[in-house]
Amino acid sequence: MLLEGKLLEGKTALITGAARGIGRAIALQFAAQGCNIAFTDIEYKEQTAQTLAELQKTGVKCKAYASDAADYQAAHQLAEDVLREFGRIDILVNNAGINRDALLMRMSEEMWDEVLNVNLKSAFNNIHAVTPIMLRQRSGVIISLSSIVGLNGNPGQANYAASKAGIIALTKSIARELGSKGIRANAIAPGFILTRMTESLPEETVQKFLQSIPMHRGGSPEEVANVALFLASDLSSYISGQVIEVNGAMV
């Protein structure tokens, strides 16, 4: 397939948790390819305004929303608001996520529930909200951020790993359910990506990660965003139900 012009010209993407990190990189990459952007953060903060200003420089239509992706009603209200403002939703990127790390015996019920709600339930909420819109359009792309630990597990991250493994199973299930309706669903499983979350890790932990990566470096949010762009565009028109790892051969 030969494509001309910008890869996402005239499309609209809804991206959760995109004020910073990987979500921000995806929003900027999509906007550079002509995509209108609706993005969320749980609160409208200085970082949200900065990201919005960067998106506005690209010339696409963009708007930031304060919305809790883990809240079922809020997710459905968000989809209604975005549809009213933009007229359609072509791409959903489930990026909202947190970590509350601890060894299992020290992990509280609250730590488990919070991570599962923000990382996994939020994806269900947003998929449930946008699916009727995409069904009416007879087209749509759903991209959800998983993780290398969702595939392999990691000590001290049982809650995070379980949530990200759930993303993979959810993705594969909806790809089967919605494929005949023109809707594709894929997941991205990043490895060690240099974000604010990884910056908070002890230096010893960082070095351990780097030693396990054959490319001897962490990835950038932009390198994950490039994969998201491919999956969102018609370049991947026959790819659905897949998990794309971005890990520098870490696994």
Residues annotated as catalytic (active site), given as ranges: 160
Residues 6 or more apart whose CB falls under 8 angstroms from that of 82 comprise 12, 14, 38, 63, 65, 89
Strand-by-strand arrangement of the 243-246 sheet: 62-66, 36-41, 12-15, 91-94, 140-145, 183-190, 243-246
Query: What does the alpha-carbon distance between residue 116 and residue 157 come to, in Å, rounded to a whole number?
Result: 12
CA-to-CA dists, residue 28 to 20, 96, 165, angstroms: 11, 16, 27
